[in-house]
């Protein structure tokens, strides 16, 4: 039986796992919940959340045989281990953990802003506020790395790609000072399996806003 992955009909926190599954070539069942669904319907999360035998019912969720997980980073880490996308040894795995957490910090910065009542004021200083963290990532990549750990993709790249891409989408000039970051995003997008996913319906790029209702700017 193929894995199942459940999330809202948006990109949100599902994208790193979906990218990892696409890169691994895994044919999974994409379970989609809609914000406007009628109570009792299959796509109404509130009606289904306690019927899935999840220890901590939440979105996203992932099941694969006896594995039943929630929490986006726990899921992407499981997928990384299963499909050998978690580095070559324990040292690389620890470095990947650090990079995933760093990507989470970058993602949190944009989520806090686009859902804030002060979003209009905050977005003016967005590039300036993000510059120190973006500089750290650019320095980590340096000039010779194609991906975060070198020439091979790991799950850290999917988390970092999403976090950086959303900042670049919000502010086209955000990465202008850091050519290494712009090149990095291009390298990830250029992978045939990733490109196919980003162009697919599962990415929701043309069908739905990237975030839940209430987000400003990126949902326009």
52 and 107 share a domain? no
- For residue 3, pLDDT beyond 80: yes
pLDDT in tens, 63-115: 998 999 999 999 999 999 999 999 999 999 999 999 999 999 999 888 888 78
Question: Does residue 139 lie in a domain region?
Answer: yes
Residues 95 and 22 in one domain: no
Residues 73 and 99 in one domain: no
Q: Convert the pLDDT of each residue in 146-178 to its tens digit.
A: 999 999 999 999 999 999 998 888 777 778 889
pLDDT over threshold 60, residue 207: no
Q: What is the CATH number of the domain that holds 145?
A: 1.20.1050.10
Q: What is the CATH number of the domain that holds 51?
A: 1.20.1050.130
Report the percentage of the chain scoring pLDDT > 90: 67
Same domain, 67 and 121: no
Q: Which domain holds residue 62?
A: 4-83+197-203
The pLDDT of residue 214? 63
Predicted TM-score of the model (pTM): 0.92
Residue 7 phi/psi, 5-degree rounding, is -165, 175
Q: What is the pLDDT confidence band of residue 119, given thresholds at 50, 70 and 90?
A: confident
Is the per-residue pLDDT at 220 higher than 60?
no
**Residue 217: per-residue pLDDT:** 58
Residue-averaged pLDDT of the chain: 90
Could you tell me if 106 and 46 lie in one domain?
A: no
Residue 101 lies in a domain: yes
Do 103 and 79 share a structural domain? no
Same domain, 19 and 65: yes
Q: Is 99 inside a domain boundary?
A: yes
Residue 219 predicted with pLDDT over 60: no
Same domain, 97 and 70: no
Q: Which of the pair, 117 or 74, is modelled with greater confidence? A: 74
Give the 3-state secondary structure of the chain: CCCEEEEECCCHHHHHHHHHHHHHCCCCEEEEECCCCCCCCCCCHHHHCCCCCCCCCCCCEEEECCEEEECHHHHHHHHHHHCCCCCCCHHHHHHHHHHHHHHHHHHHHHHHHHCCCCHHHHHHCHHHHHHHHHHHHHHHHCCCCCECCECCCCHHHHHHHHHHHHHHHHCCCCCCCCHHHHHHHHHHHHCHHHHHHHCCHHHCCCCCCCCCCCCCCCCC
pLDDT level of residue 122 (50, 70, 90 thresholds): confident
Q: 155-170 vs 90-114: helix axis angle to the nearest 10? A: 20
In a domain, 214, yes or no: no
């Amino acid at each position: 039986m193929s894995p199942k992955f459940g999330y809202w009909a948006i990109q949100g926190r599902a994208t790193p796992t979906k990218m990892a599954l696409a890169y691994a070539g895994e044919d999974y069942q994409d379970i989609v919940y809609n914000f406007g669904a009628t109570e009792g319907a299959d796509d109404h999360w509130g009606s289904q959340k306690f019927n899935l035998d999840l220890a901590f019912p939440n979105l996203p969720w992932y099941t694969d045989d006896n594995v039943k997980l929630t929490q986006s980073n726990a899921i992407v880490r499981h997928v990384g281990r299963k499909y050998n996308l978690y580095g070559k040894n324990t040292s690389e795995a620890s470095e990947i953990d650090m990079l995933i957490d760093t990507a989470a910090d970058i993602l949190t910065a944009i989520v806090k802003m686009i859902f804030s009542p002060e979003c209009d004021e905050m977005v003016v200083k967005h590039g300036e506020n993000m510059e120190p963290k973006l500089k750290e990532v650019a320095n980590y990549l340096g000039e010779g790395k194609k991906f975060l750990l070198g020439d091979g993709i790991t799950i850290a790249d999917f988390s970092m790609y999403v976090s950086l891409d959303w900042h670049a989408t919000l502010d086209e000039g955000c990465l202008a000072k850091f050519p290494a970051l712009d090149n990095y995003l291009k390298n990830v997008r250029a992978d045939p399996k990733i490109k196919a996913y980003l162009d697919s319906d599962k990415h929701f790029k043309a069908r739905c806003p990237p975030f839940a209702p209430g987000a400003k700017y990126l949902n326009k």
